Amino acid sequence: MAKPTELPELVGEFVDLSKEYLRQETLEPAKELGRYAGFSVGAGVAFAIGMLFLSIAGMRGIIALLPEGPNWSALGYLLAAVALVLIGGIIVAGVNRTGERQTDGD
């Protein structure tokens, strides 16, 4: 058993060990998670900008293939919108299927 004179020293050591443990087990993983989230948001923004440019190029390509005229131009916009919705649906379905596969394995 500890002597009464050692008690303040032991309490100080306990507080120091508790601070170090909390820093090691909470703050450092939170910093890593923040960095990971930052890269994820950056990648999402980059993919969104890329998809925007690809959709504009696809729309202009569809319009270039169609004959001249305002009705044909409107059809080109409509076809591009339908293509984007289909591509988005395929991506969402793929993500949902991957999520189901991962939860079944747990």
Q: What is the DSSP string of 14-82?
A: HHHHHHHHHIIIIIHHHHHHHHHHHHHHHHHHHHHHHHHHHHHHHHHHHHHHSPSSHHHHHHHHHHHHH
Residue 105 pLDDT exceeds 60: no
pLDDT on residue 90: 93
Domain tally for the chain? 1
Residue 35 pLDDT exceeds 80: yes
Q: What is the pTM of this model?
A: 0.59
The two most distant CA atoms of the chain are separated, in Å, by: 96
pLDDT class of 11 with cuts at 50, 70, 90: confident
- Tokens (6 digits) for 42: 């950056």
Specify if 1 maps to a domain.
no
Specify if 62 maps to a domain.
yes
pLDDT on residue 2: 67
Q: Give the domain extent around 23.
A: 7-105
pLDDT on residue 103: 65
Residue 78 pLDDT exceeds 60: yes
Query: Residues 60-80: what's their mean pLDDT?
Result: 91
What percent of the chain is predicted at pLDDT more than 90? 36
